[in-house]
Amino acid sequence: MANQYTRNPHIDHFIDNGISIAQSAIKEKAKKILPHPPDAGEFSSFVRRGNLPKDGVPTSRAYSEAKVIDKQGDNDWRVSISIPPVIRELNSSLLNPLVDSGERMIFPFTPSVIFSHSASYSSMQPVHTNYPFYNYQNSAVDAITVSGDFFIETNEDAEYWVAAVTFLRTLTKMFYVVDGDAIIEEDFKFDYAVPEKDMNAVHVWRSKNPVNNLVYGYGGVKLLPRDLTLNMSIGTTDMTTSISDRFRPMEQISNVSAFNTSPFNTWKSAFRECVKLSSKVIDRQEDAETEARLDAWCKSDDLVAVDGAVAGRKYGTENKNNKEAISKINDFAWIEQIYKNGK
């Protein structure tokens, strides 16, 4: 006889609701996987392309711009070289990017640093020995090579690279000097390879004068020997030709000397240069060439420059044997007073 049992309507209702909820969840999940149920023959294809975007076109993504954060303190592990305080004091637009980066030259990518060491030994051959004995003498640290990459993608990158290259070259035997009013020619490169015999010579490139069209060393880029510059006499009137007894005029035009930025700057520049020319304080200058340059300064179309040139020529001629009077041209407050008195 079969067992007989009575169904509980409450339990049956609970079971039916659970089955209904489960079926609904399965249907929703199936719709997400297969929104349009395939035919039996296409089922495998639907499964294979289930994770592909619609029509095979990837969905667009929002990308944010990568930014380099200038870290400071102990959290900055980038390789860098500290710059001396004098770089900050110079307030040079060429080197200011290094000052702004925490007074150091930062390598944007980790560079390769190669150290090499050497040891010296002497040999000794005792009597009745088959092989020599080597005696240690001393050790030495050879060249340290630092090689790093600088990628230039923006103007800021280019300015930083120029500052870094200029700074590194100042650490060597020679360094470049660029006047603040110089507009560098596009074809001029700071890559002149100085012969070993000229390492103690002052190199001066030619510059274009925007007022009188003269082209010579006035306002041009200079390449100076470091040690001689550090030990030069600061009392000289013309620094460039007083650093070394060896002078190398370079034929290439390096820049335009844009000194005519204001009436006073124009007058001051013309006055100082013509004092130097007329007083003959510039070493190794030729008289005929000097007179031709003085005439060009005093006959240009810029009346302010002409006024300063004429005044400078007169002052230099009258005081050519008075070093103290000539040295006043390096006192800009004194020059400004003369300029105001003459107006």
| CA atoms of 119 and 200, how far apart (whole Å) | 32
pLDDT of residue 318: 93
| CA atoms of 243 and 229, how far apart (whole Å) | 6
Residue 343, pLDDT > 60, answer: no
Residue 75, pLDDT > 60, answer: yes
**Secondary structure letter of residue 282 according to DSSP:** S
| CA atoms of 271 and 274, how far apart (whole Å) | 5
pLDDT of residue 232: 77
Answer for the pair 147, 220: CB distance below 8 angstroms, yes or no. no
Of the pLDDT bands very low, low, confident and very high (cuts 50, 70, 90), residue 84 is confident
Residue 4, pLDDT > 70, answer: no
| CA atoms of 330 and 255, how far apart (whole Å) | 23
pLDDT of residue 12: 60
CA distances from 37 to 33, 44, 45, 46, 56 (A): 9, 12, 12, 9, 19
Lowest-confidence pick of 5-9, 21-25, 269-273:
5-9
Structure tokens at 206: 């030619």
pLDDT of residue 10: 57
Structure tokens at 267: 């007058």
pLDDT of residue 210: 94
| CA atoms of 220 and 184, how far apart (whole Å) | 9
The residue with greater pLDDT, 275 or 6, is: 275
| CA atoms of 263 and 308, how far apart (whole Å) | 10
- What digits encode the pLDDT tens for the residues 207-247? 999 999 999 999 999 999 888 887 777 667 777 777 888 88
The amino acid at 49? R
| CA atoms of 22 and 17, how far apart (whole Å) | 9
Structure tokens at 221: 């880029």
| CA atoms of 175 and 188, how far apart (whole Å) | 16
| CA atoms of 210 and 304, how far apart (whole Å) | 13
The residue with greater pLDDT, 75 or 219, is: 219
CB atoms under 10 Å from CB of 280, counted, come to 15
CA distances from 216 to 151, 206, 252, 255, 328 (A): 35, 5, 10, 11, 24
Q: What's the gap between Cα 269 and its chain centre?
A: 28
Of the pLDDT bands very low, low, confident and very high (cuts 50, 70, 90), residue 250 is very high
Residues 6+ positions from 81 with CB-CB distance below 8 Å: 104, 105
The residue with greater pLDDT, 34 or 50, is: 50
The residue with greater pLDDT, 20 or 72, is: 20
Place of tokens 């007169």: 314
| CA atoms of 176 and 225, how far apart (whole Å) | 9
CB atoms under 10 Å from CB of 138, counted, come to 8
Residues 6+ positions from 123 with CB-CB distance below 8 Å: 132, 133, 134, 135
- Among candidates 177, 156, 181, which has minimal Cα distance to 96? 156
Averaged pLDDT for residues 131-142: 84
* Helix H or strand E encompassing 203: strand 202-208
- What digits encode the pLDDT tens for the residues 187-212? 998 888 888 888 899 999 999 999 99
Residue 185, pLDDT > 70, answer: yes
Q: What's the gap between Cα 212 and its chain centre?
A: 32
CB atoms under 10 Å from CB of 269, counted, come to 24
Structure tokens at 140: 């030495």
